Structures are given as C-alpha cells and as structure tokens.
Amino acid sequence: MNLSLTTSSPPRPRAQPGLAERYGPWAVVTGASDGIGREMARVLGSSGLNVVLVARRRERLEALAAELRGYGVDVKVEAADLGDLAELERVLTTCAGLDVGLLVASAGFGTSGSFLEQPLAAELTMLDVNCRAVVVMCHALGRQLAARGRGGLVLMSSLVAFQGVPRAAHYAATKAYVQSLAEGLHVELRPRGVEVLASAPGPIRSGFGARADMQMGMAESPEVVARGTLAALGRAGTVRPGLLSKLLELSLATLPRWARVRVMALVMGGMTRHRA
C-alpha cells in the first residue's frame, strides 16, 4: 500500500553502483517531496544521476535539491500539480530538453472509507494523478528512452493492486491500472532497451496515510522500499520491496481472489476504525 522532512541533515544514502551508467545521465522523480519519491531521489543523486524533482511543494523540493547538489550532481526543481494537464505538459517540456534515462513515477495519493461518501471531485483528481499523469509521462518519456535505446520506467503499484479493496475501492483500482500497465510495458519495451518495473509495497511510513486518513499498525520505511525497488530494476517485472511487503503478499498468495477481497476488507476496516 503505497500507503518528513526534518531540520537536521539526513545521513547520505549508500550509492547503488551502476545506476548512473545504466540509466543516466538524468532521472525524473515525481512525488519527490515526501516518502518513497524523496528517498528514490536521494539514492539516485548519491549514485551520480542528475535529477529532475517533481511535486507540488516547492519549498520541500528546494531543500532536497540543496542536499542532492552536495553529491555533485545537477538538479532541476519542477513544482507542479500532476493532476493539472497544463502543469504536467510544462514538466514534460523541461524533460524534452534533457537526456533522460529514467522515470520514477512515485506521485500519487489515496482515499479511504465508503466510496459513495467520498467527494467525486477528490476521486477524479486521484484518477488524474495516479493514472492519467502516469500514462502521459510513460508515453512521452518512453518514446525518448526507446529512441536512445536504453533507459528505465519505475511505476509505483501496491499490494492492493492485486484484488479489490473495500473502503479503498477506487484507490486500489488506480493501482491495478498501474500494475497492469507496467506488466504490459515490461514485455513490450524490453526489446527496445527500456526496462519497466512495477514496485508493489505494502503500507509505508510516509505522508500517504495521513492524507488518506488511515491508521497503520505496521509499515515499511520509504528508504527500504526505494533501495529494494531500484535494486530490482532490470532484473524483474514486479518487485515487492521490503520484508513486510513480502510477508503480506505471502499471507495472501494461497487465497482465491474473493477471499483476498474479504481479508482486505478486514484490514481496511481496522485502518479506518477511528473514523467511526
């Protein structure tokens, strides 16, 4: 379930050898102001890739950019709401002028609770950010990567992508869309030198839970998810990064789909019980 910015300087993440050579010189990371996206950008910057940081909150992006420039890489900040098509096109215009070798599409958010009680506008915005922005960026940057004959696309799926999830029905549906897109592109683009990976973590310690108004008893760190995801790029089509993600998937793997839906209903019921 793709489910903090501090005043002290965070420790420098360990570089992952080979990323710059395989996917450089530029990487684009959406959702870079928090959580998984922020940690992805930190790992990529420490590994020698120049980074385009994309998210809504400019002040957070500027703080992260200052950190990444300390690694000796170039950084561009694009404060943009990817639910707005005009702002999304502005980001792509910036990317078109760079030799981009990697897209990490980490931007996204969720809602929880009864679907019929959610404001329709919020659900449509989630659809735009979680799905439309992903397909637009994959189409534009995927063409750039295929033309250069090498590169990578990392799409953030989720544990909830593999069955319906009562009380997070639409969020799970958006992640099922991303998962299916990544699986298809993984096979379609590999002969053209483009590696595509779906990352499907379980609950994550980030701002996601607060925005979705969910209380999570167990959660994985964004650092573990970022490192595990990037380590799997080029080696798998789907990764479940972190021990928690693997344990949760293992617990569901032997169940038929209808039973997984019932189990997820119980899980989501617990995460949203405080709102009753």
Write out the catalytic residue numbers.
171, 175
Residues 6 or more apart in contact with residue 118 via CB below 8 angstroms: 111, 170
Cα 179 to Cα 183: distance, rounded to the nearest angstrom? 6
Residue whose pair of structure tokens reads 């439309």 in the numeric block: 132
> Which residues face 151 on adjacent strands?
194
Whether the upstream peptide bond of residue 256 has omega within 30° of 0, thus cis, is no
Residue 249 carries which side chain, given as an amino acid letter? E
Q: How far apart are CA 72 and CA 63, in angstroms?
A: 15
Query: How many helices (H) does the chain have, and how many strands (E)?
Result: 11, 7
Q: Which residue reads 């869309």 in tokens?
A: 177
- 260 — alpha (psi -120 to 50), left (phi > 0) or beta? alpha
